[in-house]
Amino acid sequence: MGRVLKKEDYNKFLQHLKDEGELIAPVTTKMVRFETVKNIRDIDLNSGNPFFPIKKYFLPNKEALLKIRSGETKSVDKVEKKKLIFGARLCDINGIAILDELFLNHEYADEAYKKRRDSIIIIGINCHTPPSKYCFCESMDLKKEGYDLLLHKREHNYFIDVLTDNGAKLVRHLPEAEVDIPLPKTKKHLDRKDLKPFFADNFWEKDSEQCVSCQRCTILCPTCFCFDLQDEINPRTKNGDRVRTIDSCHSKDFTQVAGGHVFRDTRLKRYRHRVLHKTQFFQDKFKRSMCTGCGRCIEYCHSKIDFVKTINEDFQ
Amino acid sequence: MSLYKLKKYLIKDVIKQTNDNTMIRIQTNLNPIPGQFVQVSIPGIGEAPISSASYNKKELDLNFRVVGSVTEALNKFKKGDKVYLRGPYGNGYPMEKFKGQNLILVGGGCGVAPLRGIIEYIDKHREDYKHVELFFGFRTPSDVLFKNEVLEWSKRYNLNLSVDKAPEENLFHCPVGFVTQILERVNISNENSSVLMCGPPIMIDKSIEIIKQKGFTDEQIWVSLERHMKCCTGKCGHCMINGKYVCSDGPVFRYDEVKSIDE
- Strands of B158-163's sheet, edge to edge? B158-163, B132-138, B102-108, B193-198, B221-224, B252-254
Residue A78: predicted pLDDT: 86
Q: Measured between CB atoms, which of B235, B240, B243 is closest to A280?
A: B243
Q: Measured between CB atoms, which of B1, B226, B227 is closest to A111?
A: B1
| Residue from B144, B242, B131 nearest B192 by CA | B131
Q: Measured between CB atoms, which of A68, A199, A257 is closest to B227?
A: A257
Helix (H, G, I), strand (E, B) or coil at A233: strand
Q: Which residues of A touch B263 (CB under 8 A)?
A: 255, 263-264, 269, 273
Distance CA A108, CA A49 (A): 33
Q: Report the residue of B3, B66, B233 to disrupt the A interface, i.e. the one with the largest count of A CBs within 10 Å.
A: B3
- Strands of A120-125's sheet, edge to edge? A32-36, A22-28, A83-88, A120-125, A149-153, A157-162, A2-6, A176-177
Q: Given a cut of 90, is residue A50 above it in pLDDT?
A: yes
Please report the DSSP string for A59-96 in residue order: S-SEEEEEEEETTEEEE--PPPPPEEEEEE-HHHHHHH
ipTM of the assembly?
A: 0.90
Q: Given a cut of 60, is residue A315 above it in pLDDT?
A: yes
Tens digit of pLDDT for each residue in B120-143? 999 999 999 999 999 999 999 999
| Residue from A86, A73, A82, A59 nearest A226 by CA | A59
Residue of A nearest to B48 (CA): A258
Residue B173: predicted pLDDT: 87
Using CA atoms, how far residue B110 sits from A117, B48, B146, B175, in Å, is: 42, 15, 11, 19
Give the mean pLDDT of A283-302: 94
Q: Measured between CB atoms, which of B46, B70, B238 is closest to A255?
A: B238
Residue A105: predicted pLDDT: 75
> What does the domain layout of chain B look like in residue ranges?
7-89, 95-224
State the greatest distance between any 2 C-alpha atoms of chain A, in Å, as a whole number. Answer: 65
Give the mean pLDDT of B170-189: 90
> What does the domain layout of chain A look like in residue ranges?
2-61+68-314
Q: Which residues pair with A228 in a beta bridge?
A: A245
Q: Given a cut of 60, is residue A125 above it in pLDDT?
A: yes
Do A263 and B241 lie within an 8 Å CB cutoff? yes
Q: Measured between CB atoms, which of B84, B238, B242 is closest to A73?
A: B84
Average pLDDT, chain A: 94
**For B56-70, B93-107, B164-178, which range has the lowest pLDDT when averaged over its residues?**
B164-178
Confidence of residue B2 (pLDDT cuts 50, 70, 90): low
Residue of A nearest to B239 (CA): A255
Q: Which residues of A touch B234 (CB under 8 A)?
A: 102, 106-108
Tens digit of pLDDT for each residue in A156-201? 999 999 999 999 999 999 999 999 999 999 999 999 999 989 999 8
Neighbours of A144 (CB within 10 A): 15
CATH of domain B95-224: 3.40.50.80
Give the mean pLDDT of A73-94: 94
Residue of B nearest to A72 (CA): B43
Residue A260: predicted pLDDT: 87
Confidence of residue A29 (pLDDT cuts 50, 70, 90): confident
Residue of B nearest to A109 (CA): B3
CB A130 within 8 A of CB A166: no
**For A89-98, A256-265, B215-224, B240-249, which range has the lowest pLDDT when averaged over its residues?**
A256-265
Distance from B184 to chain A by nearest Cα, in Å? Answer: 29
Q: Judge whether B157 is closer than 8 Å to chain A, CB to CB.
A: no
What is the sign, positive or negative, of the torsion defined by CA atoms of B14, B27, B236, A200? positive
Confidence of residue B171 (pLDDT cuts 50, 70, 90): confident
Give the mean pLDDT of A23-41: 94
Q: Given a cut of 60, is residue B103 above it in pLDDT?
A: yes
CB-based contacts of A45, cutoff 8 Å, min separation 6: A26, A87, A125
Do B2 and A111 lie within an 8 Å CB cutoff? yes
Q: Which residues of A touch B243 (CB under 8 A)?
A: 276-277, 280-282, 284-285
Residue A71: predicted pLDDT: 85
Give the mean pLDDT of A226-236: 94
At the topology level of CATH, where does B7-89 sit? Elongation Factor Tu (Ef-tu); domain 3 (2.40.30)
Distance CA A9, CA A18 (A): 14
Q: Judge whether B82 is closer than 8 Å to chain A, CB to CB.
A: no
Residue B4: predicted pLDDT: 86
Q: Given a cut of 60, is residue A54 above it in pLDDT?
A: yes
Residue of A nearest to B70 (CA): A258
Q: Report the residue of A263, A268, A274 to disrupt the B interface, i.e. the one with the largest count of B CBs within 10 Å.
A: A263
Confidence of residue B84 (pLDDT cuts 50, 70, 90): very high
CB B211 within 8 A of CB B67: no
Average pLDDT, chain B: 94
Q: Given a cut of 80, is residue B1 above it in pLDDT?
A: no
Q: Report the residue of A254, A267, A290 to disrupt the B interface, i.e. the one with the largest count of B CBs within 10 Å.
A: A254
Using CA atoms, how far residue B145 sits from A206, A208, B12, B115, B150, in Å, is: 48, 44, 19, 12, 8
Do A249 and B237 lie within an 8 Å CB cutoff? yes
Confidence of residue B215 (pLDDT cuts 50, 70, 90): very high
Please report the DSSP string for chain B in residue order: --TT--EEEEEEEEEE-SSSEEEEEEE-S--PPTT-EEEEEETTTEEEEEEB----SSEEEEEEE--SHHHHHHTT--TT-EEEEEEEESB---GGGGTTSEEEEEEEGGGHHHHHHHHHHHHHTGGG---EEEEEEESSGGG-SSHHHHHHHHHHSEEEEEES--SS--TT-PPBS-HHHHHHHS----TTEEEEEES-HHHHHHHHHHHHHTT--GGGEEEE-----SSSSS-S-TTEETTEEHHHH-BEEEHHHHTT---
Q: Which residues of B touch A249 (CB under 8 A)?
A: 237
Distance CA A131, CA A127 (A): 7
Q: Which residues of B touch A233 (CB under 8 A)?
A: 44
Q: Nearest 5 degrees, angle CA A218-CA A221-CA A227? A: 50
Residue B33: predicted pLDDT: 95
Distance CA B212, CA A158 (A): 67
Q: Given a cut of 90, is residue A127 above it in pLDDT?
A: yes
Q: Judge whether B97 is closer than 8 Å to chain A, CB to CB.
A: no
